[in-house]
């Protein structure tokens, strides 16, 4: 059994309620220090109208969650990490957001939901053991967020169990880092991105040099390596935990189950009356 560990360094866990308006990693300012703070203006009807008009842009079909969240932050945030959004135009704000880690965007998304709508999040759950359906009300303040102090701490190099052909060379090592927000820009999917896309978007380099990897280039990667890498990508991820542990309230059942939070905007940003 492969016992090699690819755990990233110095990741801390903190509850969202304690983290406050801070990102999981942040982006560096001009002197190289990571800035994690962000702030939001009051979410009023005017902002809602601006968002709605973005969403309804003619001939564009349904806006992807990536675009929608980017517009939401662009309208709502007054600063984000090192960026002073009030001194920037929309195109500059959207470009700035694209530089952040996916985990930063998700952390802010969760905090903004908590701050602007409330900490209670209602989840409809079906127990896989007894089949009963029940409502679970999560408290977003108690959501665990994994944070890091440096992007270098989040880099890890994977040694392939089965080296494979990549163009004219054999890939023996792949360097990974945190998934970036911009890498999901063209995703047709919502936030639950497909595994191959997450894998390729997390690649920083192969065999010691930087590359951007289109999915087709990893065609020869073996399944065992694929699954091992996905395991470590998941384990090394920072940002809010997307899965809640819930116990079934049905008498005599009590099954502990894992419930994935639905991060889709309409579901996540609706009010829970509990």
Q: For binding to Zn ion (CB under 5 A), which residues are involved?
A: 127, 129-130, 248, 250, 253, 255
Q: Which is nearer to Zn ion, 129 or 170 (CB)?
A: 129
- Cα separation, 215 vs 265, whole angstroms: 27
Q: Which is nearer to Zn ion, 157 or 255 (CB)?
A: 255
Name the β-bridge partners of 173: 159
175 three-class SS: strand
Please enumerate in sequence order all residues whose Cβ is within 8 A of that of 233, keeping only pairs 6 or more positions apart, or say none.
176, 179, 198, 199, 202
CB of 12 to Zn ion, least distance (A): 34
- Cα separation, 234 vs 102, whole angstroms: 13
- Cα separation, 65 vs 262, whole angstroms: 12
Query: Cβ(40)–Cβ(21) under 8 Å?
Result: yes
CB of 255 to Zn ion, least distance (A): 5
Q: Which is nearer to Zn ion, 11 or 246 (CB)?
A: 246
CB of 63 to Zn ion, least distance (A): 38
- Cα separation, 237 vs 233, whole angstroms: 6
CB of 24 to Zn ion, least distance (A): 33
Give Cα separations from 244 to 50, 125, 139 (angstroms).
33, 11, 10
CB of 133 to Zn ion, least distance (A): 10
Q: Which is nearer to Zn ion, 129 or 141 (CB)?
A: 129
């Amino acid at each position: 059994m492969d016992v090699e560990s690819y755990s990233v360094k110095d990741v801390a866990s903190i509850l969202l309620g304690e983290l406050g308006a801070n990102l999981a990693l942040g982006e560096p300012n001009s002197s190289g220090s990571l800035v994690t703070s962000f702030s939001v203006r009051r979410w009023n009807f005017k902002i809602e109208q601006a968002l709605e008009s973005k969403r309804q842009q003619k001939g564009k079909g349904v806006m992807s969650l990536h675009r929608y969240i980017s517009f939401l932050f662009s309208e709502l945030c007054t600063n984000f990490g090192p960026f002073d959004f009030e001194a920037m135009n929309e195109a500059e704000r959207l470009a700035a957001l694209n530089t952040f880690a996916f985990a930063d965007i998700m952390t802010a998304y969760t905090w903004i939901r908590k701050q602007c709508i409330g900490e209670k999040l209602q989840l409809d759950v079906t127990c896989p053991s007894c089949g009963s359906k029940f409502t679970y009300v999560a408290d977003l303040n108690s959501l665990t967020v994994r944070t890091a102090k440096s992007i270098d701490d989040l880099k890890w190099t994977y040694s392939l169990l089965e080296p494979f052909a990549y163009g004219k060379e054999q890939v023996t090592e792949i360097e990974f880092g945190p998934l970036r927000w911009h890498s999901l820009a063209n995703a047709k999917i919502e936030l639950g991105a497909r595994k191959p896309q997450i894998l390729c978007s997390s690649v920083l380099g192969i065999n010691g040099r930087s590359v951007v990897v289109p999915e087709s280039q990893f065609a020869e990667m073996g399944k065992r390596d694929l699954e091992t890498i996905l395991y470590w990508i998941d384990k090394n991820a920072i940002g809010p935990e997307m899965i809640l542990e819930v116990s079934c309230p049905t008498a005599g059942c009590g099954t502990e189950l894992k419930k994935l939070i639905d991060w889709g905007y309409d579901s996540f940003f609706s009010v829970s009356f509990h």
